[in-house]
Structure 1
Amino acid sequence: MKRIISIVLMAGLSTAACIGDSPYDPQAQCGTPTNLTFEKVSNTLSWNMNTMGEGYYEVQYGEQGFTLGKGTTVVTYKNSYSLPLYQNNKYDLYVRKNCGIDNGRSNWAGPITVLAGNTTTCVQPAYATYTKTTSSALSSTFDAAVSWDNDGVSAYETVLTISSAPPASGQLAMTGQKAVYTGLSKTQTYNFFVRKRCADNTFSTFYGPYPIKWN
């Protein structure tokens, strides 16, 4: 009897999860971004900030008419992103909010179809964030995993230093990878720098210094 009741309850929950305005629907807990706008000079897509829960935004773009799911996806923690587009080409742009495991992803907003005003294939990274871990509270060291705005295509060079001056060069981090640093001193403040490698093997200017520390 208990097993039958459990099955009935689970079926009820599964049915509720299919209803768009149900509290069980993860998309109902993560509001869809609104007011998508495009600035042609910098090829920047922006939208209204969704304050419902923590998380980040996923922007997907491609040539006009592309099928959603087959475009290029980039991630940002801001409510805007300067896209690597080519001048006078038309693109479709989408954005959605990722509210985390508990609240899921929102529906996609868009598309909006835009005409790129300039070629912006070598844009300086504009954001970085990091997570930190340690083996124990008594340890004198910690590890940091750093991520940044990534266009999903390019390679980047990263540097971690105690200096605040932009470095001359960095270590290559391939597309989509994070920069992971281990054995960092909990009493030291470090500075992170990242730059984009462009299609012609030149580089953008470095983003940074971005401070990384234990406390």
Structure 2
Amino acid sequence: MKTKITAFATLFLFVLLMGCSGGDDGGSNCGKVESVTFSTTPVAVTLYFTGGTNANSFKVEYGPTGFRQGTGTSVVTSNTQIEVTGLVPSTTYDFYITGICSDTENSTPYKLSSVTTQASQCTGTTSVQFGQLYPNEIDLQFTYSGGYAEYYEVEYGPVGFTLGTGTKATTSFGTSSKTLTGIQASTTYDFYVRSYCASGEKTPFVKFSYTTMNGCPKPTNLSSWIVSGSCNSGTATRAFSWSYLAGTPQSYTISIVQGATDNPAEGNTFVTSTTGISISNMFCNWRAFYVRANCTGNDSSEWAGPYYF
């Protein structure tokens, strides 16, 4: 009789243990993720998997290979395909994928170990050229030496500003130029620029400095020609013209000199309110001219020239 009781107790314990084990998920109705595959780029890993029974969303936790679960970066998705971005090229990561069935019930995590991102494809150098037609605007022209850049980012501010605290701007997709407005005249700025490559990567920031033109820039595109008469006979009328794209100054001063080393401030000067003037009785010993813009107050531009005629 004692033997029968002992055998019955043993059988009961075995059945009880089998009922509590429930396989890998400890009897949970929240099935474990299965059939995990992946693809990589230099900065991303895309995971593909089959969700377990009753799972309606999934938590993906990742970090460098060997990280302790619970200390990594996590993202929750309702899809069985997810792209994890912002990774580092040529770096190995571990992933834990957990099915979420309810607020209180999760599956056993599936661990995907040692996934290595591709080598960097964005190793070129970024540079920028500056141009100005107006004192309050800067035209930026970007280049990338290592292939194709989809777009560019610039952060700028007064010289010495801390990266991350400046004004940010990006080019449109597929373009390499940007015009910045609201710029202060006669001011030195720092510019940090970088390229975004087709691989999804970005280059490190490269720092440049640029001092903007003053608020009264000098004229451009100087030109001169005989309108009528002859300088040898002292009957010539000569036209002088120039361009000014930075605004409308109050006036312009033109200075006509005999040689390249003459000081334009000591030449024969004339004042006009337009970007051109005709002067009669020109003599042949006049050889060049300069012009400057006269802006508000006593602010005048540098002399533009000489233009030889």
- Same fold by TM-score, threshold 0.5 exceeded? no
Greater RCO (CA < 8 Å, at least 6 residues apart): 1
TM range (shorter): 0.3 to 0.5
Higher strand proportion: 2
Larger radius of gyration: 2
TM-score normalized with structure 2 length: 0.30
